[in-house]
Copies of this chain bind each other. A is one copy, B any other.
Amino acid sequence: MRPEIRVGPEDFDLGEAYAALRRRAPAAGAVAAFVGCVRDLSDGGAVDVLELEHYPGMTERSVAEVADEAARRWPLDALTVVHRVGRLGPAEQIVLVLAASAHREAAFDAARFVMDYLKTRAVFWKRERGPAGERWIESRASDHAAAAAWRDSAEDAPER
């Protein structure tokens, strides 16, 4: 199983991405998906623009590594990860994860794992602009805790 990875400024379509995933995994009984969007309000106040910076080359590799790690941990039939870069407005889509497996446990776990690891391992930086000016978003302790929980559970990770 080779994860499908895309990093770029283009928007994505959940329905199309799901159809493409199903073509790669027609027999999968379970598909879990996640879409992350720009919120109009953050810890720093109202948000007019979210800018996503990346490091071309290294970023794609970091996303692929997260996807590959998920594929090692769970028996996935297909996995899609799309992450946008550039300037995004409120409510715009940022990130998409789709995981297909025989059973729902693996699909849910893998999708959530990919999101938790993208937050802490994928090479992106977010900057918000709003009425109060602009600021680089700081990494959240809760994101690191979520990622660490997977590391701690690595030994008894499901092997379905």
Contacts and interface: CB of A to CB of B under 8 A. Distances in A.
Q: How often does this chain occur in the complex, in copies?
A: 2
Give the one of A22, A31, A107, A146 with max B CB within 10 A.
A31
Contacts of A91: 22, 26-27
A39 B34 contact: no
A36 B29 contact: yes
A102 interface: yes
Contacts of A105: 142, 146
Contact of A40 (B14, B27, B112): B27
Contacts of A33: 14, 32-35
A35 B14 CA distance: 12
Contact of A31 (B18, B27, B34, B39): B34
B32 A32 contact: yes
